[in-house]
Amino acid sequence: MDKRQHASVLLSWYDEHARVLPWRVGPKSGRDVRADPYHVWLSEIMLQQTVVKTVIPYFETFLARWPTVFELAACDQEDVLKRWAGLGYYARARNLHACAKVVVSRHDGVFPSDEQQLLALPGIGPYTQSAIRAIAFGKRAGVVDGNVERVIARLYALKKPVREIKSQIQDKAFALTPASRPGDYAQAMMDLGATICTPKRPACARCPLQENCLALKGDCAAALPVRAAKKPKPVRTGTAFLVLREDGCVLLRQRLDKGLLAKMLEVPSRGWIEGQKNARNESAPVQAQWQQVPGFITHTFTHFHLQLDVQCAHVSADHPVLAAADRARCRWVPRHELGEQALPGVMRKILSHGFGEPL
DNA sequence: AATTCGGGGGG
DNA sequence: CCCCCAGAATT
């Protein structure tokens, strides 16, 4: 099967099996209908390392709140962080807002179709750049994400660690990309990887490319691609402090501008340290009579496990926050407004555990 | 070239 | 539990 047949077979499969997604136009709604670059960009940022099902409700919320890049560029960053809360990788949200501002201020609100201009925008890397050019502008770009990486590795039975053959995979992906409907082709490859050519137990019997697949021929599809061994995740422990004011407000604090969960809100805590020796050096955010909440919460980040116990205290309305440096970042939030704050998943777990009920 | 960034769904 | 996901930025 040559390259033209490959693309033709895959596009036929896509025309019949394509999933209906809110940012996707077609494929049956017409040949030259291209998706709105703003929609494509927004969805692609959200889809970085995040599965389609998780993204859909966030995409709908963002589009309803900010119909165009102009509204998004004009809003406050914290508003973006609030609506991104729970989606993870929060640098994406900060870069999203920064990118919108640049597109408005330097490109008159029109997304560029040029590779270098796209790469210059915050949050847009090699993958997102090519996806936008193919899907929104109909350019012939080699779109390689984790799905395509796996499909290509199997099609050609590439048995070296993918780390070492990135450029080879990129070259083959581009070579296979047709001049017509490159956006549909890219989405077809990704859909194939997500639904047929899955990491474990691929459904080769239902694959439109089975005649073309060297891995299937060599009976090694499930073993590809070869990825580097992962390092074990250490366990960090600490204590969270849930401060309840008599008027029903909870003490929250904005995190630092850099690092884990940067600029998001948090329940004040100490520790997050491997082992337990130095966990008692830092102090609580206020002086109070602390009461241990029975049990603990656990949360797993990309590179460590976290286990926190939760201490709870009730304070009066004029109670001072201890650390002067913290006061600027601290705020009292009514309990019924917690759900709409820029609180990451782990912070919501802490609050739910402390209150004994979901936010 | 390695590490740092979240969170959740599926085996 | 472990895997990986429409990756990018930083070191």
Nucleotide nearest to A53 (CA to C1'): B9
Q: Strand B: which bases are under 7 Å from protein Cβ?
A: 2-11
A278: pLDDT strictly greater than 60: no
List the domain range (segments joined by +) for residue A336.
235-355
Clarify whether residues A286 and A200 are in a common domain: no
The answer to whether the beta carbon of residue A49 comes closer than 7 angstroms to any atom of strand C is yes
Q: Looking up tokens 């802490």, which residue turns up?
A: A350
Clarify whether residues A176 and A102 are in a common domain: yes
In a domain, A74, yes or no: yes
Clarify whether residues A275 and A138 are in a common domain: no
Q: Which residues of A are catalytic?
A: 44
A30: pLDDT strictly greater than 90: no
Query: Torsion-angle region of residue A261: left (phi > 0), alpha (psi -120 to 50) or beta?
Result: left
Clarify whether residues A162 and A81 are in a common domain: yes
The answer to whether the beta carbon of residue A91 comes closer than 7 angstroms to any atom of strand C is yes
Res A29: pLDDT: 56
A202: pLDDT strictly greater than 60: yes
The answer to whether the beta carbon of residue A149 comes closer than 7 angstroms to any atom of strand C is yes
Clarify whether residues A192 and A325 are in a common domain: no
With distances taken from each CA to the C1' atom of nucleotide B10, the closest residue turns out to be: A200
Nucleotide nearest to A24 (CA to C1'): C6
The answer to whether the beta carbon of residue A276 comes closer than 7 angstroms to any atom of strand B is no
Q: pLDDT digits over A35-91, tens only? A: 999 999 999 999 999 999 999 999 999 999 999 999 999 999 999 999 999 999 999
Q: What is the DSSP track for A317-328?
A: TTPPPS-HHHHT
Asked which of A166, A198, A223 is the last residue of a domain, the reply is: A223
Asked which of A190, A223, A256 is the last residue of a domain, the reply is: A223
With distances taken from each CA to the C1' atom of nucleotide B5, the closest residue turns out to be: A89
What is the CATH classification number for the domain harbouring A150?
A: 1.10.340.30
- Average pLDDT in chain A: 94
Clarify whether residues A51 and A111 are in a common domain: yes
Clarify whether residues A161 and A191 are in a common domain: yes
Q: pLDDT digits over A121-147, tens only? A: 999 999 999 999 999 999 999 999 999
Asked which of A161, A195, A223 is the last residue of a domain, the reply is: A223
Res A318: pLDDT: 87
Q: What is the DSSP track for A146-185?
A: HHHHHHHHHHTT--SBGGG-HHHHHHHHHHH--SSSHHHH
Clarify whether residues A184 and A241 are in a common domain: no
Res A326: pLDDT: 81
